[in-house]
Structures are given as structure tokens and as C-alpha cells.
Amino acid sequence: MKKKKIVIVGGGISGLTAGVYALKAGFEAEIYEKHSIVGGECTGWDREGYHVDNCIHWLIGTKEGSCLHNIWKDVGALENDLEIIQADKMYTSELNGEKITFWKDVERTEKELIDLSPEDEMEIKKLMKYVRIGEHAKIPADKPPEMMSAIDYIKLGGSMKDTMKLFKELEGKDTKDLMNCFKHPLIKCMLSDFCTKASLAYSFPMMYGNFISGDGGIPRGGSRAMAFRMQRKFESLGGKICTNADVVKIEIGDNGEATGINLANGEHISADYIICSCDTDYTFGHLIDESYMDSILREMYTNRKAYPVYGMFQIAFSVNSDIDAICGEIMLECNNIQVADWMSDRMSIKSYAYEPSFAPKGKQIIQVLIGLQEEAYDYWMELYKNKDEYQSKKEEIANKVLKKIEERFIEYKGKMKILDTWTPVTYHRYCNAYKGYNQSFMITKYSAKNKHPSANIKGIDNVVLAGQWLNPPGGLPVAAIQGKYSIQRILKKEKRSIKI
């Protein structure tokens, strides 16, 4: 019996995951990716002998014992002999000459926070209680929610009892509300250094909790290497990947089912099923008509207050020194660098000294990230119309940042060089990212109780959605989980067992 063929649009983490599980489930699978390499936003590139890593700060699911870890192993993202790098701190925040660090040793963090601000002791202890709850939280990844039975939900509720209490206690609050519980300006600042003020209040405790659990390690080699391992796994199972293959349309037949995809070069690829693991903004209005978009997803695109997105201005610097003065990731003020109100007055500086292969011997690479509001997208897209002005503005900001770093870290003075700069335009060009953002919508206190959009498309039964936009705020774990779920959804349509 001839195998049914699944065509996957997008070779990012979700598409690669879907591809591996499709092959494991007995389908024929092909991936079509517009870029020259796989990985989507989980990527990196080389500049002047240095490697710029553009995604993983740490990866949830690196610790054994979770459904998510099993997914990473299944798809080749993690391998038995792969080293997982464990940092001793999440990040350090500095403000007005003071600094505080979030250590993997949460007791040390708690003590240092109380030493910094004794008047905040009660709220600090409450925050650390939340963090310790987050330490034991697991991300459900066994089967799609609509396929879970009553017994499944009872078991899930039992395993997440403490986590649900945390959600209930912080219900209706966002990170700004959490910040306002504290008196010390640095403690307020360090919370919004990691989570946007509009993010839900439990976001920080859950992420820091994951970090201290040891489940958030960094796979040796970084983001691009992980995507390439997944590619090798997919191809070893018989999958086919076509890069530089820009999909421009899903062809719909007279019976209302999709017959295949059309490429920019005019080629038509037939398919029994199509998985759109690309950005949903590209799926609806480009690949298929926008009228197919379900009401929940449409609300996410129209209600900007409830579902904001963000952006980033990023810079990579080479450093002609092997002295690691940063020691991880540090957050600093940068209010004298702001181009407009949509640009953050804080910046993250990250050292990649833990990856000596990213730089020539005796040198290192550091990268800077400055957060942007979504209005920044229009500014950068307009500026990009004049390539010289676009490049000039990027260099102007990058040089100001270079000066700021040299002032703070005198060990680097005269030893730094700009390697590359990138903006929301970069993510739009290479990944068709909505407003140039490399994650999904932010869930806020105005949208926390709303449902997630359907992965099925009403009116086209053989097209299924995957990717991080189905489960905001997205990220690599969500992308992988939704890739797996897309195959389980097809298996259900085939009236087969969803166990892969």
C-alpha cells in the first residue's frame, strides 16, 4: 500500500519535528524551506571567523524525565553523547551602581535579595516560594488538548496541583503588578529585565523555577547545530528537505481539499496532507485566503492590547581578548541609546565564552539585545527602503552600544569590533515573521482566559497548522510540541492510533 505523503511548509523546529514524527508514523514526508538552511528562527551564522548564535539562551527539556525531553530525543535535537552546558546563574541586573544575580542556588539568591532590600523581605520570600513551585512544573506534551480524556485531565491536574495554585494566586496580575509589590528599584527592574511588563505575573517565577531545576541547559554547539542534528535525523529516516524553496500558495481542488503546494519557481508539489509550520500571518493571506482564519486567531491579530508582540535590535561584537568579564548575561541601562520611546532603556549583554568554538583562539564573541515595542517594526521596515540609511542607523546604534560596554568593562576597551547587527526586518525577510518578532503573541492579563486557536482549518480538512503561534507566547518547546501534535491530528483524521 502506497504511503500517504505529508508536505510541510517551513523547516524550522516545528516543521522538522513534524517531519520526524510523520516518518515514524509511516508517512512519506517532505519539508520545503524558503531559506538556504533549516532551523527557521533557531539559527546562527558565521562572520569573519566567528559564529553568531541567534536563539537558545537555554533550552527547556534538557533534563531527563519529561515528555518534552522525550520529544527532543526523538527528533535528534538531543543525543546521548551531547554535552548539556549548565550555567550557575540565569542573569545579573545592574542599576544605579547596584547589582543582583539570579543564581541556580535559589537560597543564595534569596539571601542576597534580602540583604539588598530588607524592607522587601516578605515579598522576596513570597516570590521565591513561587519560584520553588515553578521548579517542579512540567509542560504537557503527550497529546493535543482536544484528544485528552477526562482521566487525562484529572491526572494532569494532580501533577500540576501546586502550579495551578500559583496560577490562581497570581490570576489577573501581570509582571508590572508583580514589580509594584517591591520597594527597591533594582528588584523592580530585574523582573522586567527578563519578562515584559505586560507578561503574566507567573512568567518570571516559572522561568526562573525551570532554570534552577536543571531542566534549562544549553546544548553544546548552540542553535544552528541543534537544527542540523534534527535535519540529519529527518533525512536518516528517509525524509526529503528542499531549501531555497519558497512556497507561495496552497492549491485547493474543486472538492475543497488541498491538492498540494506551489513554489515560487512555478513547480507544483502534490500532497495528501499539508502542514503549515510557518508563521500564521503568512499562512493566511498568502498561502490560503485570510477568510479561513478562525475567530480566535483573528482576535489575536486585531486586539493589540490583549496580544502584543515585540521586537529586538541585536548586535554581535568580536572581542580581541579571552578574558570573560561578563560571565554569562548582564542587564544594563542604555537610555542614552534610545532611538524612540518604542526602544527599551535596558539592554542585555551575553558572553559566549562557554562556546570556545564560536571564536578564534584567544578571542570571544559577545552579543547585545535591546527590546523593542511592536511599533518599531514599521520604523525599521520604512528605513529598510533605503539600504544606506538602514545600515547607517544600525551602525550608529551599535557604536553607541560599543562605547557603553567599553565604559562598563574596561578590560574590553579598544578590543571590540562590530561583527553584525540585525533588526525586526531580518526576521521578516528570512522567516516571514509577523512584525519581525521571533516568538508568538504575548498573553496578557487581558487575554489569559481566552482559548487558543484551532490547528485545524475549517473548510480544508487536509491542511493542519503547527508552530509556536498556536500556543502563545511560543518559543522552541511550543514549536516542537505543536510539530508532534500536527502528526497526531493527522493520525486521528486517518482513524489511526495517535501513539507514535
- For 485-494, write each residue's pLDDT tens digit: 999 999 999 9
Question: For position 34, what pLDDT does the model report?
Answer: 96
Question: For position 450, what pLDDT does the model report?
Answer: 85
Asked if the structure places residue 50 within a domain, the reply is no
Alpha carbon distance 15, 1 (integer Å) = 26
Alpha carbon distance 205, 90 (integer Å) = 12
Question: For position 48, what pLDDT does the model report?
Answer: 97
Asked if the structure places residue 52 within a domain, the reply is no
Single pTM value for the model? 0.96
Question: For position 156, what pLDDT does the model report?
Answer: 85
**How would you write the pLDDT of the chain (500 residues) with one tens digit per residue?**
789 999 999 999 999 999 999 999 999 999 999 999 999 999 999 999 999 999 999 999 999 989 999 999 999 999 999 999 999 999 999 999 999 999 999 999 999 999 999 999 999 999 999 999 999 998 999 999 999 999 988 888 888 888 999 999 999 999 999 999 999 999 999 999 999 999 999 999 999 999 999 999 999 999 999 999 999 999 999 999 999 999 999 999 989 899 999 999 999 999 999 999 999 999 999 999 999 999 999 999 999 999 999 999 999 999 999 999 999 999 999 989 998 999 999 999 999 999 999 999 999 999 999 999 999 999 999 999 999 999 999 999 999 999 999 999 999 999 999 999 999 999 999 999 999 999 999 999 999 888 899 999 999 999 999 999 999 999 999 999 999 999 999 999 999 999 99
Residues 266, 352 within the same domain = no
Spatial contact of 120 and 182, defined as CB atoms under 8 Å apart: yes
Asked if the structure places residue 442 within a domain, the reply is no
Residues 158, 260 within the same domain = no
Residues 128, 97 within the same domain = yes
Residues 106, 195 within the same domain = yes
Q: How many CB atoms lie within 10 A of CB 472?
A: 21
Asked if the structure places residue 443 within a domain, the reply is no
Residues 172, 246 within the same domain = no
Question: For position 160, what pLDDT does the model report?
Answer: 87
Residues 76, 163 within the same domain = no
Alpha carbon distance 6, 21 (integer Å) = 11
From 470, 461, 426, select the one nearest 288 (Cα to Cα).
Answer: 461
Question: For position 464, what pLDDT does the model report?
Answer: 98
**H or E segment at 126?**
helix 121-134
Residues 430, 317 within the same domain = yes
Question: For position 122, what pLDDT does the model report?
Answer: 98
Question: For position 2, what pLDDT does the model report?
Answer: 86
Q: Could you tell me where the beta strands, DSSP code E, fall in 423-469?
A: 456-457, 460-465
Residues 318, 399 within the same domain = yes
Asked if the structure places residue 51 within a domain, the reply is no
In this predicted model, what pLDDT tens digit does every residue of 429-440 receive, in sequence order? Answer: 999 999 999 999
Residues 301, 253 within the same domain = yes
Question: For position 1, what pLDDT does the model report?
Answer: 72
Burial state string for 314-342 with b = 16 or more CB within 10 A and e = fewer than 16: bbbbbbebeeebbebbbbbbbeebebeeb
Residues 324, 409 within the same domain = yes
Q: How many CB atoms lie within 10 A of CB 165?
A: 12
Residue 45 CB-half CA count within 13 A: 14
Domain boundaries, position 130? 87-212
Residues 247, 363 within the same domain = no
Count of domains for the chain? 3
Q: Which CATH number characterizes residue 278's domain?
A: 3.50.50.60
Q: What is 210-254 written as a DSSP string?
A: HHHTT-EEEETTHHHHHHHHHHHHHHHTT-EEESS--EEEEEE-T
Question: For position 292, what pLDDT does the model report?
Answer: 96
Give the end of a domain, one of 185, 212, 239.
212
Residues 208, 231 within the same domain = no
Asked if the structure places residue 299 within a domain, the reply is yes
Question: For position 153, what pLDDT does the model report?
Answer: 87
